[in-house]
Amino acid sequence: MNESVASLPQPKTGPSRWVLTSAFLIGVCAALACSPKKTTFDSLLNQGIVPISSENPYNGANLFLSHEMEQSAYLYDFVRNQGAPQAIELTGNPDDLQAHFFYAGTKQEYLAKPAPRRAGVNDGRQEWIIIGPYAVDREHYRELDQMTDNGGAFEVFGRREFFGKKLARAGEETLRPVFIPTPTPKPVRKKKHSGSPHTVQASQPAPSGPPNFDQQSLAEAKHHAHRNAQGDLEHTVKAPTETLESITKWYTGTDANVKAVAEKNGMPADAKLKPGAKVVIPSGVVINPSEMK
């Protein structure tokens, strides 16, 4: 009797197969739930300039910006204040991605790089650091010149948002061009002829009235720098020797306004300028509207 009982199989003391399988499945589900969802845009990588749509938020470039703005407060605030770019370009690879933002109106480029993640923090969010602006290089200049500044439409945080071009600051004074009336020509006396005591005035037609608006605009355009819609002057850099200090001194009469001009353009005061770059001079400090030679 004892031998027959001893020969029977004894129950296992470890966890059953069902318990092990359940634990494995629970672990897999937990890992999938905890892992951050990552949306890739590999089809846009290294494909050159991709335009932003002002009407369709489901365009590829619009979708990329919408997704990244939901992840990065820095990027969202930048686009909200600067306005949507007219085009973007993604370079690098999914593990080392860089985004280039192009603004056709000002011919400027900003570079966005992923910020390093904090140690021990993996919440699925990715902050972006934006640096610039830089002057657009010749490779992209012609392509951007064909684009218009219409803003962009995006689906952000479940709502439709439109980011247009940067507007003038509240309370910012817009300067109107001052037109100088054309002086009335003075009569010219001819030389006296022998035997004639009379002086004869030159036969010059008298002005029929003040110059019209078109004539005044043409006269101003020959000498004054271009003004944007907000009334600020826009100077186009013509030589690599130009600096923010020399440009500021020309239009404002002093280099003490370099800081204000640098902040207006979002660049350091000692930034290196390339020919073709646009420098905006705030209307509030301009005293010399004549174009810098």
Highest mean pLDDT pick, 75-84, 123-132, 165-174, 176-185: 75-84
Residues 123 and 235 grouped into a single domain = no
pLDDT at 193 over 90: no
Q: Give tens-digit pLDDT for 57-102.
A: 888 888 998 888 888 888 898 988 888 888 889 888 878 888 999 8
Q: Is residue 191 part of a domain?
A: no
For residue 195, being part of any structural domain is answered with no
Instruction: Give me the pLDDT at residue 49, please.
Output: 86
Structural domain includes residue 63 = yes
Q: Indicate whether 158 belongs to any domain.
A: yes
- Flag whether pLDDT at 167 surpasses 50: no
Residues 70 and 153 in one domain: yes
CATH number, domain containing residue 256:
3.10.350
Answer yes or no: is 64 within a domain. yes
pLDDT digits 0-9 by tens, 135-162: 887 777 777 777 777 788 899 888 898 8
Domain presence at residue 2 = no
Nearest to 284, CA basis, from 171, 174, 166, 176: 174
What's the mean per-residue pLDDT of the chain? Answer: 74
Neighbour count for residue 292 (Cβ, 10 Å):
18
Same domain, 155 and 218: no
What is the reported pLDDT for 38? Answer: 44
> In this structure, are 52 and 141 located in the same domain?
yes
How many domains are there within the chain? 2
> Tell me, what DSSP letter sits at residue 117?
P
For residues 269 and 158, state if they share a domain. no
| Whether 159 and 47 share a structural domain | yes
Q: Is residue 258 situated within a structural domain?
A: yes
pLDDT of residue 242: 92
Last residue of a domain, one of 124, 144, 163: 163
Tell me, yes or no, whether 227 lies in a domain.
yes
DSSP, collapsed to helix, strand or coil, labels residue 44 as: helix
CA distance 127 to 144: 27
pLDDT: which is higher, 189 or 264: 264
Q: Which domain, by its residues, includes 281?
A: 214-285
Q: How far apart are CA 81 and CA 166, in angstroms?
A: 7
Choose the final residue of a domain: 146, 163, 180.
Answer: 163
